Amino acid sequence: MIRKIVMIDEEKCNGCGLCVPACAEGAIAIVNGKAVLSADNLCDGLGACLGDCPQDAIRIIERDAVEFDEAAVHQHLLATGREPIHHGTSSPPSPPHQGGGCPGSRALTLERPAPADGQPSGAPIASRLRQWPVQLHLVPTTAPYFQDADLLIAADCVPFAYADFHREFLDGKALVIGCPKLDDNRFYLQKLTELFTLSSIKSVTVMRMEVPCCGGIVMAAQQALAASGKEIPFTVLNVGIQGDLT
């Protein structure tokens, strides 16, 4: 069958091994100093390992491969001494901090109750985050929460500067965050291009800080959208250091 599956570029791989714990199914191993896919039926094709490769040696392709096999994954994890994970809906998934790979890169959809119309004075504010992870380096570009989603791309500082970020902007959206001053904007361009290409994003909102260096995340998103060849509604919002929209 033709399906999505990871491909590892042996020439780019330096054998650092960061992808091994990032793969919850244990499908990747280090052999002779290089990362390899142990077996096709162990790979679910979601790409949770992509953000953990500093050499950009892993990507998602479509090719003829045997079907993903949860039972085989279960046995493989037991045989390698790792805690089995649950893919089906009949059993709850393991908590993010327990076994089954790096918790920072495991794709999770978070169930949230519908927000109440009124918020009693002094009551705790409910989070509107509906996914994990959110860091652009870690999100798998084929995660189910990106399908038919309104995407919010936010600079790291925005949720701290804008007090009502969750209620006004995050509610109902998929989220990725990053800092164009501290990270390589070329990576952002590549990752966002892949995200726009592989997922059915309905709209894009970019929230940046007013400081000049924050413009890089807007530029990366604009260039990535152009590279994907798609026409998606695109909005840019500027947040001031004082916490206002400028």
> CA separation (Å) from 36 to 2, 20, 80, 83, 232?
20, 10, 16, 21, 36
Average pLDDT over residues 174-203: 91
pTM: 0.58
Distance of CA 86 to the CA centre of its chain: 19
Are 75 and 170 found together in one domain?
no
Are 141 and 211 found together in one domain?
yes
Are 52 and 135 found together in one domain?
no
Give the pLDDT score at 98.
35
Does residue 86 lie in a domain region?
Answer: no
Does residue 55 lie in a domain region?
Answer: yes
Q: Model confidence over 128-159: pLDDT tens digits?
A: 999 989 999 888 888 889 999 999 999 999 99
Does residue 224 lie in a domain region?
Answer: yes
Q: Model confidence over 211-234: pLDDT tens digits?
A: 998 999 999 999 999 999 999 999
What share of the chain in percent tops pLDDT 90? 51
What share of the chain in percent tops pLDDT 70? 81
Average pLDDT over residues 12-24: 85
Are 131 and 221 found together in one domain?
yes
C-alpha span between 46 and 64 (Å, rounded): 16
Give the pLDDT score at 122.
62
Give the pLDDT score at 114.
64
C-alpha span between 55 and 16 (Å, rounded): 9
- pLDDT at residue 46 is higher than 90: no
Contact (Cβ atoms closer than 8 angstroms) between residue 40 and residue 76 = no
Does residue 112 lie in a domain region?
Answer: no
pLDDT band with cut points at 50, 70 and 90 for residue 39: very high
Contact (Cβ atoms closer than 8 angstroms) between residue 121 and residue 179 = no
Are 212 and 137 found together in one domain?
yes
Are 75 and 134 found together in one domain?
no
Of 40, 59, 79, the residue that ends a domain is: 79
Are 56 and 132 found together in one domain?
no
Does residue 179 lie in a domain region?
Answer: yes
What residue numbers bound the domain in which 23 lies?
2-79
Count: domains in the chain: 2
Q: Model confidence over 112-135: pLDDT tens digits?
A: 566 555 556 566 778 999 998 999
- pLDDT at residue 47 is higher than 90: no
Does residue 67 lie in a domain region?
Answer: yes
Does residue 246 lie in a domain region?
Answer: no
Does residue 92 lie in a domain region?
Answer: no
Q: What is the CATH number of the domain that holds 143?
A: 3.40.50
Q: What is the CATH number of the domain that holds 18?
A: 3.30.70.20
Paired strand residues for 94: none
> CA separation (Å) from 71 to 41, 74, 75, 76, 78?
10, 5, 6, 9, 11
pLDDT band with cut points at 50, 70 and 90 for residue 41: very high
